[in-house]
Amino acid sequence: MDRVRASSLAVTAAIVVVVTLVSTGAIAQQQNTRPPQRTVQRDQQLTEQQVRPQFGAAVNRVLVDVSVFDKKGRFVPDLTIDDFEVLEEGRPVDISFFALERFRETLPVRPTEDGEVPEEEQMPPELADAPLLPRYMVLFIDGFNTSPADWDKVRYALNDYLDEYVQENDRFLLATLTPSRRLMVAPEFTRDIESLKRSINELVTNPAIKERERQNKQDLLRALYSDFSRDTVGSIQAGAQASLTSEANVLRLGANMAQAFAGLRKDEILYTLNAMTSLAEHLNRTFDVPGPKTMIMVSAGISQNPGSTYYYILDSRLDQVAGQVRSNVSSAAEHPVAFRPPYAQTIDAYMMRAVGHLNRMNYTLYTIGARGTTIGAFADGTDRFRSNLSPGIASIAYRDEEAGLRMLSRGTGGLAFHNSANFYRAFEQIDYDTAFRYVLGYAPPERAENANPNKFYRIQVKVDRDNVTVRARRGYVDG
């Protein structure tokens, strides 16, 4: 227990994100100074009308990136401003800015359901007439929450994607949260793919993350299922009233351990969320990037309910104790979450705050769960991201990890890819998904002078077209 308490205190004290620059091609730490803001060179000159309005110090215009797809998954290019309706906090707003943006010179080829590659499609005139804009993509590798084995599987697919899909107007920036919890950021957006790949292949992820989780589980199981605790269960069932207190003490010890382990995990995840939003803020201060930014986050998981696996173990133990313990010992009477403090349930509020800040800074987040399975053959890129989870504590915990990644990506209008080892298909889908999009802008309603600057304002986008799928960011934070 002393080890757990010390670790938890150390993590709590270390929730400070440090942004350190790295050189492209070698992860080299430099002096932590704030560089002057600089404008990223564009590949073509844009007119004033083609350049997006940007957020100011306070939100005076809200931008909403919108993707609309038909039943076959094809982008719908012929919508007008009159086809859209935007609601903030359930109330319609006046759309004052509208644009159709293109980020690929050619129409991406989409594999069909049967795996056959169709003939190259003709780009619709609405897309062909749209200006070709630079596409800025941030590769954020969560090296703290990802093991080397999990990262290796994604790394190979990422290298293949960079070899096959990068275009002249694409610019990439690499960032990673290291096992020592330092946020390392490349100094420039680049199209030097070979140098970028060298940096990717040199990244170090966390070899201890899985082992520490396994050790924590073993410590908790040992405390709950030791010979002593099994003996006391037997004597309780035999009517030995004196053992009730001993059994309750075992449960209290397990509860304290579960709370400490879960608190440690919660602190780590909040640190990761801080790193992600600090990265976006750092890039916004450093670069004057026109238009949208895409962030691809590779992580083994960001739990929506940190440390849930420890509470599930505790709940399972409560199932097995004598009824006399639950009925006669008040601290163990409630089931199944008797020992779980209210603040440890979920971290939805923290996640929505992160989503709101990313949306305010015009980032669309795509998450790739690095714990993908290798079960099943992937003969082609059309294989679905199907579930392989089996019942049990581990699968429930994995679902929590996936739920967090899914919540982050969907909140920004992006996609979550998890529970599959077909990572190449994930990057392929991201490439198609970021090829075209609509942009809507509106002036937000007036705020009260005492409005909470961290309030998450919810957005809903509707399209006056049948049989289409609409995906857009779900809100923003004003402050």
CATH code for the domain of 177: 3.40.50.410
Number of domain units in the chain? 2
Indicate if 419 and 465 belong to the same structural domain. Answer: no
Indicate if 354 and 253 belong to the same structural domain. Answer: yes
Indicate if 368 and 258 belong to the same structural domain. Answer: yes
Model confidence over 176-209: pLDDT tens digits? 999 999 999 999 999 999 999 999 999 999 999 9
Please report whether residue 107 resides in a domain. Answer: yes
In DSSP terms, 97 is beta-bridged to: 441
Quote the pLDDT of residue 110: 62
d(CA 293, CA 87): 23
**Strand, helix or coil for residue 151:** helix
Residue entry with tokens 């923290």: 350
From residue 193, give the alpha-carbon distance in Å to each of 40, 77, 240, 314.
17, 31, 71, 49
Please report whether residue 311 resides in a domain. Answer: yes
Indicate if 321 and 448 belong to the same structural domain. Answer: no
d(CA 375, CA 105): 36
Quote the pLDDT of residue 346: 73
d(CA 362, CA 28): 29
Please report whether residue 293 resides in a domain. Answer: yes
Please report whether residue 50 resides in a domain. Answer: no
Indicate if 339 and 287 belong to the same structural domain. Answer: yes
Tally Cβ neighbours within 10 Å of residue 128.
Answer: 12
Please report whether residue 41 resides in a domain. Answer: no
12 lies in which domain range?
Answer: 2-25+134-434
Quote the pLDDT of residue 65: 92
Quote the pLDDT of residue 279: 95
Please report whether residue 123 resides in a domain. Answer: no
Indicate if 450 and 430 belong to the same structural domain. Answer: no
Indicate if 452 and 426 belong to the same structural domain. Answer: no
What parts of the chain have a pLDDT lower than 70?
1-59, 109-121, 227-245, 321-345, 373-397, 479
Quote the pLDDT of residue 394: 55
Quote the pLDDT of residue 31: 32
